[in-house]
Amino acid sequence: MKNWIIKEEWFNNQEITANENRFLCGNGYLGIRGALEEFQKEKLPAVNLSGIYDRVGDGWREPLNAPNPLYTRIKVDGEYYFLPEKEPVSHIQELDFRHGIVRRLTTFRTKRGCVTVEAEHFASMADCHLIGMRYTVTADFHADIEIHTGIDGDVWDIHGPHYDEVVIRQKDMCLVADAVTHENREHVCVAERYRTQAPHEHKTKEEERRALHRICVVTDINKPVVIEKMAAVYTTKDCNDPEKVSEKSVTDSMEAGYEELLKRHTACWERLWDTSEVEIEGDAEAEKELNYSIYHLLSIAPYHAGSQSIPARGLSGQTYKGAVFWDTEMFMLDFFLNTQPKVARTLLKYRIDTLAGAEKKAKGYGYEGAFYAWESQEGGYDACSDYNVTDVFTNRPMRTYFKDKQIHISGAVVYGLIHYVNLTGDTSILYEGGAETIVSCARFYDSRMSERVHSEVYELRDVIGPDEYHERVNNNSYTNRLALFVLREAAKLLSRSKEDKKLAEIFGEMDCEAWEGRFNEDAEKLLQKKPVKNNVIEQFDGYFQLEDTTVDTVRSRLLNEKEYWGGAYGVASDTQIIKQADVVTQLVMFPDDFSRETAWDNWGYYEPRTEHGSSLSACMYGILACICGHPNAAYPFFRKSAGADLKGGGKEWAGTVYIGGTHPAAAGGAYMTAIKGFAGITIEDGQVKAYPHLPDGWKKMRFSVFYQGERYEVVVTSDGAEIKKYEM
């Protein structure tokens, strides 16, 4: 029997925000930070919404947190009892990550006896607009208890407040909050209702931006008072009258009853796990961490949409502006392709539907084609600011060039699209904008290249690779290789259009033959770095000339621990110390370019020079070590990725700005390390094959993968693999 519970057995003030990430639950439409019910905005609770953003003044544009319908506090004999104000006798918080149910159990000692609060909540997987909560209070004496529960519209924002108004109306026993956004006057509506069998007196309590039921009971000794609550969230992005729809939805759900809704919710989770679970015999801890990572990916997948992607911090708040990065295509996509291919399509449709934004961005810099947003919000708007870092010494914004120079983002989009078509066999996506997207990205690289004087070589100068510490470099190896991939794929598509009428129609006026020739020529001439010194590929022109030192030495030069390592004057900028996997990522994406020995030599060179300052880094070292046949070297990197959210420990604050949250790219990276790395799953001659490299102690892995619309059941041991088509 597997252990699907994670648990904290004592209340620790220092762990509040980390636990809110750890105990996050969500359904792709919304994510609920694992805050305790009594928390107000300074403790960072959030019902974070996907795909709806707002901007106030010059602040960063960020996603919205809905009015919080879980907000609840209790009064016992006239006195409030809640954390952290009152010291508890005991406190447990837990997450059942098999079913996305968060629970807490807290006992307080009052003057006359003990009172225990027990609560559970879930973000319904069966209906993404619904949230359910059961709140139980038990006293070991005849206590005079008031339960204040309702909607807290005074929400936590990083660059808010995003609501100009929050009006909460009471309609019969239903509270409905209508919050109106600042920038576009979108309405975010939350309706809430409760039910209890306990005889009680009901009043309503209104505070600024907050409306609460006051449920007054005198308890029997040890007899629980159970409140069941349902809430519904709708916005003007979902329907014209979200107030009415949310109210109706919550009323209908109350009729169905809490137990029934919980049943529907858990049944959906079981269906998700059916294709997503990874069993690892011989390493229970790794198995738990990996499935917990998968839980996070499943909690934030946009099942409800046909065209939407996943932000870099999932649905854990407004950090990173709720924006979509290359994280999705390069780190998360594999998981969805293998387990929920429909979601993979939705993620890629988002890129297709934001092509216009990408073309506008390219034009803005004087280029052709599509230059995707580094931090993409709706419509492909690039939320990345020119000044993404604040200098700790002067407190002045520092010019960073992530948005302008990380041109590898367009390559990631194409890589994702091609990967999708190859694994699913669903070419329809090419006719729905995919083909245009690929060609447009190729046109971008074509216009972005320059020819080296007196030579035939094309270059990509003034770029930033995955390693953000070295800005504005020339010929970043990863970027050039990815651009080559894009050019070749675009040329293939153009060539196909000779036979494929639909494609020919899509390319319309374009002179396909001429462009095909041009892309092929670009591909021929674009500089590709070869292994040089000791078989190592130089990350970018001149990298080997930089000071060769250690991560610790560079760290020791910091004058302030929050100082930025990169940019113009960063401590790492003039050294070979890099933020995250760069050449190593290239070798993972294109494993057949070089021999395994070369790949391993590069691993050995770059690993000690990598700070792993991004949660995206470890998994690439893990996967490459497996590809090179060194699973035990891969193992600690795998555990680091898989434990990113469970163990926490990542950076949470930059000065006064909260930058914490969940790390779905690390979760996806852990999955890739397990499946692509340890199990060695690959496609060969149109078939799913496995070349396992299991680390010490692992006896067996069991999981499923989808390929070309069929599900395969895979069992892997160190002696080999059994791969069977799934029979219903």
Given the complex with ligand BGC, which of 269 and 606 has the nearer CB atom?
Answer: 606
Q: Which of 292, 343, 247 lies closest to 50 in space, CA to CA?
A: 343
Residue 146 and residue 117 in contact, taking contact as beta carbons nearer than 8 Å: no
Q: Residue 468 CB, nearest distance to ligand BGC (Å)?
A: 5
* 3 state SS of 76: strand
Q: Residue 27 CB, nearest distance to ligand BGC (Å)?
A: 22
CA distances from 566 to 41, 368, 398, 549, 620 (A): 33, 29, 11, 15, 21
- The verdict on 382 binding ligand BGC (CB under 6 A) reads no
DSSP 651-673: --EETTEE-----HHHHHHHHHI
Q: Token match 């990725």: residue?
A: 641
Given the complex with ligand BGC, which of 389 and 690 has the nearer CB atom?
Answer: 389
C-alpha span between 683 and 673 (Å, rounded): 16
Q: Residue 463 CB, nearest distance to ligand BGC (Å)?
A: 14
Residues catalogued as catalytic? 468
Given the complex with ligand BGC, which of 83 and 616 has the nearer CB atom?
Answer: 616
Residue 360 and residue 441 in contact, taking contact as beta carbons nearer than 8 Å: no
Q: Residue 510 CB, nearest distance to ligand BGC (Å)?
A: 32
The pattern of x and - marking residues 457 through 496 that bind ligand BGC according to CB under 6 A reads: ---------x-x----------------------------
Among 312, 490, 588, 642, indicate the residue that binds ligand BGC (CB under 6 A).
312
The pattern of x and - marking residues 597 through 626 that bind ligand BGC according to CB under 6 A reads: -----------------x-x----------
Size of the site for ligand BGC (CB under 6 A): 12
- Residues within window 319-358 making contact with ligand BGC, judged by CB under 6 A: 320, 325-327
DSSP 376-443: B-GGG-B---S--EE-TTT-PEEP--HHHH-THHHHHHHHHHHHHHHHH--THHIIIIIHHHHHHHHH
The pattern of x and - marking residues 659 through 698 that bind ligand BGC according to CB under 6 A reads: ------x---------------------------------
Q: Residue 290 CB, nearest distance to ligand BGC (Å)?
A: 20
C-alpha span between 495 and 500 (Å, rounded): 9
Q: Which of 508, 487, 512, 485 lies closest to 498 in space, CA to CA?
A: 512
C-alpha span between 541 and 533 (Å, rounded): 13
With the CA atoms of 108, 112, 113 and 114 taken in that order, what torsion angle do they form, in degrees rounded to the nearest 10?
A: -20
Given the complex with ligand BGC, which of 346 and 585 has the nearer CB atom?
Answer: 585
Given the complex with ligand BGC, which of 181 and 479 has the nearer CB atom?
Answer: 479
C-alpha span between 49 and 260 (Å, rounded): 25
C-alpha span between 29 and 20 (Å, rounded): 18
Given the complex with ligand BGC, which of 506 and 665 has the nearer CB atom?
Answer: 665
DSSP 440-477: HHHHHHHHH-EEPTTSS-EE--SB--S-TTS-SBS--H
Q: Residue 370 CB, nearest distance to ligand BGC (Å)?
A: 18
Q: Residue 180 CB, nearest distance to ligand BGC (Å)?
A: 30
Given the complex with ligand BGC, which of 497 and 614 has the nearer CB atom?
Answer: 614
With the CA atoms of 696, 697, 699 and 701 taken in that order, what torsion angle do they form, in degrees rounded to the nearest 10?
A: -80
Residues that bind ligand BGC (CB under 6 A): 312, 320, 325-327, 466, 468, 579-580, 614, 616, 665
